[in-house]
């Protein structure tokens, strides 16, 4: 399956795969959230994009919490 993400996100994903730290995962999730928010802005009302934004926003929130308690 081809990578659907732009090169900057693919690079963060590669970094996370090589070194799966919470900080790398957080950087990856923030980049994905930004990407999907931009996609949703271009296609308002797209239910799939809304679902993805919601998912990645929850992941960013969860990871930021984990970083603060670590």
Full-model pTM: 0.91
Are 11 and 32 spatial neighbours (Cβ–Cβ below 8 Å)? Answer: no
57 in a domain, yes or no? yes
Beta-carbon neighbour count of residue 25 at 10 Å?
21
Average pLDDT, the chain: 94
Q: Which CA distances in Å does 1 have to 4, 5, 29, 55? A: 9, 12, 20, 21
Tokens of 68: 């603060």
Q: Which residue is associated with the tokens 């009302």?
A: 45
Q: Report the domain count for the chain.
A: 1
Task: Name the band, by pLDDT with cuts 50, 70 and 90, for residue 5.
Answer: confident
Q: Which CA distances in Å does 60 have to 12, 42, 45? A: 15, 22, 22
2 in a domain, yes or no? no
Task: Name the band, by pLDDT with cuts 50, 70 and 90, for residue 4.
Answer: confident
64 in a domain, yes or no? yes
Q: Is the pLDDT of residue 1 over 50?
A: no
The residue range of the domain holding 55 is 7-69
């Amino acid at each position: 399956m081809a990578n659907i993400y732009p090169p900057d996100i693919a690079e963060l994903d590669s970094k996370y795969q090589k070194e799966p730290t919470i900080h790398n995962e957080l950087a990856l999730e923030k980049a994905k959230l930004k990407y999907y928010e931009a996609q949703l802005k271009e296609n308002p009302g797209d239910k799939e994009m809304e679902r993805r934004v919601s998912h990645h926003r929850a992941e960013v929130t969860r990871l930021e919490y984990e970083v603060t308690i670590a």
